[in-house]
Amino acid sequence: MPATMVRTAIPIDAKVAALERRLAQLGSTLVCFSGGVDSAFLLAMATRVLGDRAIGMTAVSPSLAERERVAAVQLAGRIGATHRLVESNEIEDDDYVKNAPDRCFHCKSELYRIAAEKRVEWDLATVLNGTNHDDLGDFRPGLEAAKEAGVISPLVELDFSKQDVRDGAKWIGLEVWDKPAAACLSSRIPFGTSVTRERLAQVGGFEAALADLGFRQLRVRYHGEVARIELGTEQLARAAEPGCREAIVEAGHAHGFRYVTLDLGGYRQGSHNEVLVGRSLKVLE
């Protein structure tokens, strides 16, 4: 037998029940809640088990798109969760701004520093994040920040894959079970190009405009005067249609990009990290 671990398929209701038991053990908790499906599922489950002894915390900074902030507030309300917004200041950290490959470590370190303070202030026992088992296979310096901060990842502990999270969210009736993967706006800026408020606003504004045009799975990658748009492959043909193409270009110009390009490779998770494999970084200060 090969020395590889074979994951056993466990019915989703059994996995959800196991998560309920794990959350009950905690007594109370702060859930780092971004509004994505992973943290939404975790917050919904924690609220179901712990009631108001579970608090969702959303860190607000220039790297959080306004659309995502509003959606997080509305979703927490529909879940019935206790939810609080806090200010995060990673944009003031030079190690974050210079945007080296470990940028996420500095961002998450700020998040978990704030969470640790709020956990004490709100008299809660633990801090949780929505990391799932599949996240462990990508380059994610933020995982080290969570480890150093003592943050608990119950979805990893209980071997929830991303699909398990979506299945669990659907099983409990969570409306965002099929929400496309999201990431902070700083992930749109190539490593080695500094993160600024202006660049984050450019990207966020253009992405909001594309969402208003009906695109669902999307990223706007910043390359100076050039915006490189990633869309789900099923959406590529529509982007080139007369009328739609002109609207995309106009929106790009309105948000400060001289050139608007469409990445024919389409949206793919982790494309931000593609430059880390044997490629040099061009720095734009």
**Domain of residue 136, CATH code:** 3.40.50.620
Residues 158, 218, single domain; the answer is no
1 domain residue, yes or no: no
Q: Count how many domains the chain has.
A: 2
Residues 143, 219, single domain; the answer is no
Which domain range does residue 271 map to?
185-276
267 domain residue, yes or no: yes
Higher per-residue confidence, 268 vs 250? 250
Q: Which amino acid makes up residue 106?
A: H
178 domain residue, yes or no: no
pLDDT band at 278 (very low <50, low <70, confident <90, very high): very low
Residues 39, 162, single domain; the answer is yes
Residues 26, 156, single domain; the answer is yes
- In 3D space, the residue among 74, 69, 81 whose CA is nearest the CA of residue 184 turns out to be 69
Which residue pairs from 254-257 have beta carbons closer than 8 angstroms and sit at least 24 positions apart in sequence? 254/205, 254/209, 255/202, 255/205, 255/206, 255/209, 255/227, 256/202, 257/202, 257/206, 257/225, 257/226, 257/227
The Cα 142–Cα 106 span in angstroms is: 8
* Token output for 283: 């720095």
285 domain residue, yes or no: no
6 domain residue, yes or no: no
Mean confidence (pLDDT) of the chain: 92
176 domain residue, yes or no: no
Question: Where a domain ends, among 112, 146, 171?
Answer: 171
223 domain residue, yes or no: yes
User: Model-level pTM?
Assistant: 0.89
Number of neighbouring beta carbons within 10 Å of residue 53: 17
210 domain residue, yes or no: yes
pLDDT at 279 exceeding the cut of 80? no
Residues 20, 153, single domain; the answer is yes
Question: Where a domain ends, among 171, 205, 222?
Answer: 171
Residues 146, 236, single domain; the answer is no
Residues in the chain, total: 285
What percent of the chain has pLDDT above 90?
Answer: 86
pLDDT value at position 181? 85
Residues 208, 264, single domain; the answer is yes
Question: Where a domain ends, among 171, 193, 224?
Answer: 171
Weakest mean pLDDT among 4-18, 64-78, 89-103, 195-209: 4-18
* Token output for 231: 């869309």
Residues 152, 87, single domain; the answer is yes
What is the mean pLDDT of the segment spanning 211-239?
Answer: 96
User: Is 206:198 a contact under the CB 8 Å cutoff?
Assistant: no
Residues 83, 34, single domain; the answer is yes
Residues 190, 67, single domain; the answer is no
CA 237 to chain centre: 27
Q: Which CATH number characterizes residue 265's domain?
A: 3.30.70
The Cα 120–Cα 179 span in angstroms is: 32
What percent of the chain has pLDDT above 70?
Answer: 91
Residues 151, 36, single domain; the answer is yes
pLDDT band at 7 (very low <50, low <70, confident <90, very high): low
Residues 91, 220, single domain; the answer is no
